A and B are shown apart, each in its own frame.
Chain A
Amino acid sequence: MFNKIMVPVDLGHLDRLEKALNVAAAEARQYGASVVYMGVAEEAPSDIARNPKEYEAKLAAFSSEQATKHGIEAEALPVVSTDPAAEISKLILKAASDCSADLVVMASHPPKMLDWILASHGGHVAEHADISVFVVR
């Protein structure tokens, strides 16, 4: 049913992603799909990486670790941005079409009050993507 599953990951908050990562891996095994771990590198140094190159290396390491852990085929897709906090939803949508994924699996928080001003990324992506989106809460 699916050939390529894209999973947006935030290397700074992997603890909150556990469930989404497992869902993605299970789907991948079930349909024999490959998984693309997409992450956003910042231009300015951050707590995750001091520069985009270091981020790329970390994302690649993460992706191969997931591949061995779950026995799936995986690749990393780093995207560089000047303003990741504000643009994340747009970047996810663009990356999904760039790597021609047919399913996005992403973690999100349950809807809450503040969403009227700052919509959750998962909600935004599900609303605007033309492919299937699995929002894991």
Chain B
Amino acid sequence: MNEDKQEPPVEEPEIEAIPEPEGNTEIIETDFDIGQDNFSGAMSLNLDIHKIVFSVSAIGIMLFTFLTLAFQNDAEPLFVGVRDWLTGNLDWFFLLSGNIFVLVCFGLILSPLGKVRLGGPDATADYGYIGWFSMLFAAGMGIGLMFFGVSEPMSHYSSALGGISVGEDGLRTDWAPLGGAEGNELESRRLGMAATIFHWGLHPWAIYAVVALALALFSYNKGLPLTLRSAFYPIFGERIWGWPGHIVDILAVFATVFGLATSLGIGAQQAAAGLNFLFGLGTGSSMLILLIILITLVAIGSILRGLDGGVKVLSEVNMGLAALLLLFMIIAGPTLAIMTGFFDNLLAYVKNLPALSMPFGREDANFTSGWTAFYWAWWISWSPFVGMFIARVSRGRTVREFLIAVLIVPTLLSVLWMTALGGTAIGQVVNDGYTAVQDAALELKLFQMLTQLPLTAITSFIGIVLVVVFFITSSDSGSLVIDTIAAGGKTNAPVIQRVFWASFEGAVAIALLLGGGLAALQAMAVSTGLPFTFVLLAACYAVVRGLMNEPR
């Protein structure tokens, strides 16, 4: 690229300083040219990829997939062992870091730094609230809410009700959160809801917000490429263009591809289970492969339509459907219980938050490491993907507006969602003695609950559509993010590269599904949560430093 600049058509811009974006910002002057390490050859295709990040990621992922398939019997215990060791022994570190992220976000909302606008003081937002918010939510946790909305409150409720049991070694063997609430249905319910909301509330969104804010600030305001390494500029300086930066970016691509591929595989199993429940279509391999191929094809169609015509439209459609399902639950379900439950559960969350988020001296070891630390590692391993996507659509918002929208609003919505789905399911057990949900397999709990309400066939079908569309948006936005990282932060790389990544994810998912090893690689994806926790802690520092240097 750089070599063929014999006749610069534009009056030599090199000496000129970079103009500020819209309004006064602190531009970081760097000698790095975006895309300077890229391969942009024209074979039969025009490509534009970062030489090292693209090749190491693509080859590494294929190698990893192959090795996992070849040494299945060894791979699974190894990866699961690594994950369990991390979440078991470093649970305090994950919990502590999670708390730091939440505190940093609240600090920024309240401090004058919240006034800084992403993209410069005069920048205007690209997306209206509804489109923006739908995309945040769909990327952030859409799919998880479908499956854990019923099952998680139920699990915590049951284990809390069961009370505490202590093993011979003096350690607790039960999975109850905090001290449990043996035999007390009302308290168990509160505790179960509080614990669930804790896992889906402020903490995960704070994790996403930190990454998204760092990326948005360093690209829109300071002119660095939109890729993970840019957030490290305040720490590593020009060295981020070398190996330290390559490693961060490669790790991000790894975590995202494996995270997407494994959840595509597991999601296909769940969608097939739902379809089987409704129409009896079976859940065999061919059904799963068909689902993955269909999801990938629709995702490619959405990719070709671009951000505005694809992901945005699909996210809005899904938000509409999710709102419909929520509304239906509120009207057809126990209306009053959901309404009062919302405030009850919110209160229970706030009340139990200090105890639940305490990193040290916990006695509920199974809950802290098996649930909380696992979730934190999981959210953190997703954060490069979700954070980068959020950054991409959030230009023109102030830091305060951004954090309120990314942190507070989704948390409140999660409370409502969990109350409507999980609360109703618990109500069915407590009030009606209906235990089918409690006994159902994880992926069927939602559908079992819906059978107790009118219009089961329609609502279950909406449930399946929601799951599938959330996967399509994940695959689409994930490919967008991976491609940008693997192109050294260029957002205008040829669209065919995104098609490549989407197909690649689908292929990895199918390979793992057929050969086994989904669980193994998911465990590995979650394990990348540990290195990324350090990345995020550094990003907190970088964001605060970066914001303080912005003219206010």
Contact = CB atoms under 8 A, between A and B. Distances in A.
Interface stretch (B167-175, B246-254, B306-314, B537-545): B306-314
A43 interface: yes
B392 A44 contact: yes
8 contacts: A45-B224, A45-B226, A53-B21, A62-B9, A82-B395, A83-B480, A84-B491, A87-B309
B496 A118 contact: yes
Nearest to B18: A50
B4 A15 contact: yes
A99 B495 CA distance: 27
Contacts of A87: 306-309
B228 to A, nearest CB: 13
A135 interface: no
B526 interface: no
Nearest to B493: A85
Interface of B: 1, 4, 9-11, 13, 18-22, 27, 33-36, 44-45, 119-120, 126, 219-220, 223-226, 303-310, 392-393, 395, 480, 484, 489-496, 498-499
Contacts, number: 114
Contacts of B392: 44, 82
Contact of B126 (A43, A47, A61, A84): A43
Interface residues of A, number: 32
B308 A83 contact: yes
Given A44-B484, A85-B492, 9 more contacts: A44-B226, A45-B489, A54-B19, A61-B11, A82-B393, A83-B308, A86-B303, A114-B44, A117-B499
Contacts of B33: 47
B150 to A, nearest CB: 35
A82 B126 contact: yes
A51 interface: yes
Interface string A28-56: 00000000000000111111001111100
A58 B13 contact: yes
A112 B496 CA distance: 14
A11 B35 CA distance: 14
A65 interface: yes
A44 B9 contact: no
Contact of B27 (A11, A50, A58): A50
Contacts of B19: 51, 53-54, 57
Contacts of B13: 58, 61
Contacts of A114: 44-45, 496
B230 to A, nearest CB: 9
A39 to B, nearest CB: 11
A14 interface: yes
Contacts of A53: 19-22
B11 A82 contact: no
Contact of A47 (B1, B219, B484, B498): B1
Nearest to A17: B9
Nearest to A59: B10
A111 to B, nearest CB: 13
8 closest pairs, A vs B, by CB? A86-B306, A50-B223, A83-B307, A51-B21, A47-B35, A44-B226, A87-B306, A44-B491
Contacts of B484: 44
A85 B20 contact: no
Given A44-B392, A46-B490, A50-B27, A118 B304 contact: yes
A3 to B, nearest CB: 26
Contacts of B21: 51-53
Nearest to B300: A117
A85 B495 contact: yes
Given A14-B9, A43-B220, A118-B496, A82 B308 contact: yes
B489 A44 contact: yes
Most buried by B among A12, A43, A45, A112: A45
A87 to B, nearest CB: 4
A122 B198 CA distance: 52
